[in-house]
């Protein structure tokens, strides 16, 4: 969600986030239970079709799908070995790999076409029945801050790694962990203060 | 509600028994006010008190008649605060969402949020960056975004704590120009004396006390003599 959203005006972009979340859940379920390779090929084609409908090349899913391939590089041979190298083993391994790739591509399409605000609003609607126990606004703020803090902490880690290298302490865990934790805590304090300044301390 | 403006009356504040501000009496009514002082002099604490981020140990601070200790929530609607590091101020992942964030929290109708957000983005030249991830902006763009996100809420006072410290000369000029052009009362804490060009009043803080409070030429002369 961090910078993945690509603006657009397609049907997929304009669809309500809650509907997309629901369809995503159904899609994931179907991908998980489909055992027929032919049906699975159709499901994969449908995902490619949804990308086309969203006006996005399937390569847009690469940043999310790419890392999965590294996992599959190990998981597929292991699956085949466990099945004794049989044809059924290859089929199971192929389906497992396909399921993962298609599921991640589908989830990526959701993030590519849905703003964080829309996701938060969808969560707030979902949480409304639980208003006695859960403050939906607070949960929304929590999710937004979590998403926002990932690049912030990543930047802190990057700077600390550079500083560690500059001081010739590449191997030192202490030289990495201590400044990252201390700076993260200071950043958290500053963000809390900024939230209060924006009137979000109630 | 009583008198307009910001009033400090016999204000003192300290951290861990170390006095940060002592016996501050100020009445801030001018449109452009600068606060200068050495590191650790107490100027940022003074600025934070205007937004109620720090409350005095003794004495009172009022903003347009509102007590910052008892009515902090109302005070924060009057006072927008710009921090040195805009990264700490940005909450939402994209530029547009961050500007709209404050308005959403106030429960305004969606069409009004959209209209006011679009106006703010346009005013600060951020329209083309509306959908961009906020963390990928340059330092100057981030500070512009912080300014837009504060001003979209319509505060009557803007307090900026060293808003140009992390910026290059070009962006410093840009942010300074924007701050000066605001219709709101603007209070700027800074080390960059060029930022205070055209200001109405400058307050010099040293070791927690006001040591000069005058028109910029006079106050800054005192400040420079302190430095030397």
CATH number (domain holding residue B201): 3.40.50.300
Q: Residue B188 belongs to what domain range?
A: 30-51+72-227
CA distance A36 to chain B (A): 40
Distance CA B134, CA A194 (A): 16
Calculate the alpha carbon distances from B123 to A91, B144, B151, B152 in Å: 59, 10, 10, 10
**Span A33-59, pLDDT tens digits:** 877 888 888 888 999 999 999 998 878
Q: Which residues from B are below 8 Å from A202, CB to CB?
A: 73
B28 or A32, greater pLDDT: B28
pLDDT 10s per residue in chain B (228 long)? Answer: 456 789 999 999 998 778 999 999 999 999 999 999 999 899 999 999 999 999 999 999 999 999 999 998 889 889 999 998 888 888 888 899 899 988 887 778 889 999 999 999 998 889 999 988 888 888 889 999 999 999 998 999 999 999 988 888 888 888 898 898 899 999 999 998 988 988 999 999 999 999 999 999 999 999 999 888
With CB atoms and an 8 Å threshold, state whether A197 touches B149.
Answer: no
Domain-embedded: residue B203: yes
Q: CA nearest B133: which of A99, A191, A181, A152?
A: A152
ipTM over the 0.90 cut-off: no
Domain membership of residue B18 (yes or no) is no
Cα separation values, A143 from A181, A190, B108, B126, Å: 21, 18, 21, 25
What pLDDT is attached to residue B149?
92
Residues of chain B contacting A123 with CB distance shorter than 8 Å: none
Compute the nearest-CA separation of A154 from chain B (Å).
11
Q: What share of chain A is helix, strand, coil (3-state, %, to 5)?
A: 80, 0, 20
Q: Is residue B21 part of a domain?
A: no
Which residues in chain B touch residue A193, judged by CB atoms under 8 angstroms apart? Answer: 53, 83, 88
Is B23 within 8 Å of B36 (Cβ atoms)? no
Predicted structure pTM score: 0.77
Residues of A with CB below 8 A from B102's CB?
A: 198-199
Burial of A12 (0-12, 13-18, 19+ CB in 10 A): buried
Distance CA(B227)–CA(B133), nearest Å, equals 41
In a domain, B19, yes or no: no
CB pairs below 8 Å between A and B: how many? 92
Give the residue from chain A lying closest to B98, CA to CA. Answer: A117
Q: Which residue has the tokens 């960056």?
A: B129
Question: In terms of pLDDT, which residue wins out, B203 or A151?
Answer: B203
Taking chain A, what is the end-to-end CA distance rounded to the nearest angstrom? 27
| Closest CA of chain B from A75, distance in Å | 34
Give residue for tokens 């599959």. A72
Closest CA to B196 of B160, B170, B166: B160
Q: Tell me the HSE value of A148 on the side-chain side, using a 13 A CA sphere.
A: 26
- Select from A48, A54, A60 the least CA-distant residue to A20: A54
Q: How far apart are CA A31 and CA A44, in angstroms?
A: 9
Q: Between β-strands B58-63 and B32-37, what pairing exists: parallel, antiparallel or unpaired?
A: unpaired
H or E stretch at B205: strand B201-206
Chain A residue with Cα closest to B52: A197
Q: A154-190 pLDDT, tens per residue?
A: 888 988 998 888 787 777 888 889 999 999 998 888 8
Does the distance separating the beta carbons of A155 and B91 come in below 8 Å?
no
pLDDT at B1: 46
Residue A14 has pLDDT above 90, yes or no: yes
Q: What is the domain count for chain B? A: 1
Please give the structure tokens belonging to residue A137.
């606004």
* Beta-sheet strand order (sheet of B58-63): B18-28, B6-15, B58-63, B66-67
DSSP annotation of B125 reads: T
φ and ψ at residue B207, rounded to 5 degrees? 50, 45
């Amino acid at each position: 969600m961090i910078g993945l959203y690509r603006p657009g005006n397609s049907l997929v972009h304009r669809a309500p986030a809650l509907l997309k979340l629901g369809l995503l859940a159904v899609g994931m379920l179907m991908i998980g239970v489909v055992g027929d390779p032919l049906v699975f090929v159709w499901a994969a084609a449908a995902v490619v079709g949804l990308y086309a409908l969203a006006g996005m090349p399937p390569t847009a899913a690469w940043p999310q799908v790419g890392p999965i391939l590294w996992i599959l590089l190990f998981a597929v041979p292991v699956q085949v070995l466990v099945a004794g190298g049989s044809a059924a083993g290859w089929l199971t391994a192929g389906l497992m790999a396909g399921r993962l790739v298609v599921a991640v591509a589908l989830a990526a399409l959701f993030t590519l076409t849905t703003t964080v605000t829309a996701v938060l609003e969808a969560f707030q609607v979902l949480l409304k029945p639980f208003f006695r126990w859960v403050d939906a606004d607070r949960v929304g703020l929590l999710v937004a801050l979590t998403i926002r803090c990932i690049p912030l902490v990543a930047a802190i880690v990057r700077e600390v790694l550079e500083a560690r290298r500059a001081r010739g302490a590449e191997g030192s865990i202490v030289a990495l962990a201590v400044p990252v934790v201390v700076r993260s805590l200071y950043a958290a304090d500053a963000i809390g203060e900024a939230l209060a300044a924006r009137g979000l301390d109630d | 509600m009583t008198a307009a403006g910001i009033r400090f009356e016999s204000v003192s504040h300290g951290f861990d028994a170390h006095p940060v501000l002592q016996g501050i009496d100020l009445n801030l009514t001018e449109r452009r006010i600068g606060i200068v002082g050495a590191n650790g002099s107490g100027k940022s604490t003074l600025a934070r008190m205007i937004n109620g981020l720090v409350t005095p140990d003794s004495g009172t601070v009022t903003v347009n008649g509102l007590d910052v200790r008892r009515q902090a929530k109302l005070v924060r609607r009057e006072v927008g605060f710009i921090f040195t590091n805009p990264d700490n101020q940005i909450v939402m992942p994209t530029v547009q969402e961050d500007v709209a964030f404050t308005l959403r929290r106030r429960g305004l109708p969606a069409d009004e949020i959209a209209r006011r957000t679009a106006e703010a983005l346009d005013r600060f030249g951020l329209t083309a960056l509306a959908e961009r991830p906020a963390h990928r902006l340059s330092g100057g763009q981030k500070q512009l975004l912080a300014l837009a996100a504060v001003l979209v809420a319509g505060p009557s006072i803007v307090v900026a704590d060293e808003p140009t410290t992390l910026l290059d000369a070009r962006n410093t000029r840009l942010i300074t120009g924007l701050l000066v052009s605001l219709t709101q009362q603007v209070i700027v804490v800074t080390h960059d004396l060029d930022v205070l060009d055209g200001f109405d009043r400058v307050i010099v803080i040293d070791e927690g006390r006001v040591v000069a409070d005058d028109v910029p030429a006079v106050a800054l002369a005192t400040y420079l003599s302190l430095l030397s």
